[in-house]
Amino acid sequence: MSTPAASPIPANMPTLTPHIVCRGAGAAIDFYVRAFGAVELSRLPSPDGRLMHAMVRIGDSPLMLVDEFPEMGCHSPQSLGGTPMTLHLYVENVDAAIARAAEAGARVTLPATDMFWGDRYGRVEDPFGHAWSLATHLRDMSAEEILAASSQGCTGAP
């Protein structure tokens, strides 16, 4: 009797999933639950207690996490002195979402502002050094409309 072949992409997983390194991944999970309404899906601790894999779902999107493992070249933004990337999150009410994140411990780096591309947009940094942009889509715009609006000056562009 043969075992059915596994799907190359697991069920309920997109083809691209962010996988972030956190100094204190367990605390990061707790923060993401409070700040962004994340739902914890799994935790896999290593023998020394660090998380070697964890996953949450924020809205319809999975986010994988791992603790720092410097001995394996796995460093958090705190160890590296910052991060060059931003996690983007669309929400129903960006002002409320930024307030919730700040209340949970995030630092607001750009208050929510109406942007020329049709979103109300802001940014926060979480307590683990990860940059997040949050937005509520306000209006659909053509590429031409966005280009014309951008020439009038950009406030807070990503």
CATH topology of domain 83-153: 3.30.720
83-153 shares the fold of 15-70: yes
Tell me which architecture the domain covering 15-70 has in CATH. 2-Layer Sandwich (3.30)
Domain ranges of the chain: 15-70, 83-153
For range 82-87, the mean pLDDT:
96
Nearest Cα to Cα of residue 92 among 133, 48, 131, 138: 138
Residue given tokens 């562009």 in the structure block: 157
Which 8-state DSSP code applies to residue 45?
E
Residue 2's pLDDT is what? 73
Please provide the average confidence, as pLDDT, over all residues in the chain. 94
Residues in the chain: 158
**Structure-block tokens of residue 23:** 């100094």
Q: What's the pLDDT band for 156 if we cut at 50, 70, 90?
A: very low
pLDDT digits (tens, 9 = 90+) for 102-124: 999 999 999 999 999 999 999 99
Type of residue at 18: P
Between CA 106 and CA 141 the distance in angstroms is 31
If you write DSSP's letter for every residue of 55-117 in order, what string do you get? EEEETTEEEEEEE-BGGGTB--HHHHTS-S-EEEEE-S-HHHHHHHHHHHTPEEEEEEEE-TT
**Structure-block tokens of residue 25:** 């991944």
Residue 32 and residue 63 in contact, taking contact as beta carbons nearer than 8 Å: yes
Please enumerate in sequence order all residues whose Cβ is within 8 A of that of 6, keeping only pairs 6 or more positions apart, or say none: none
pLDDT digits (tens, 9 = 90+) for 135-144: 999 999 999 9
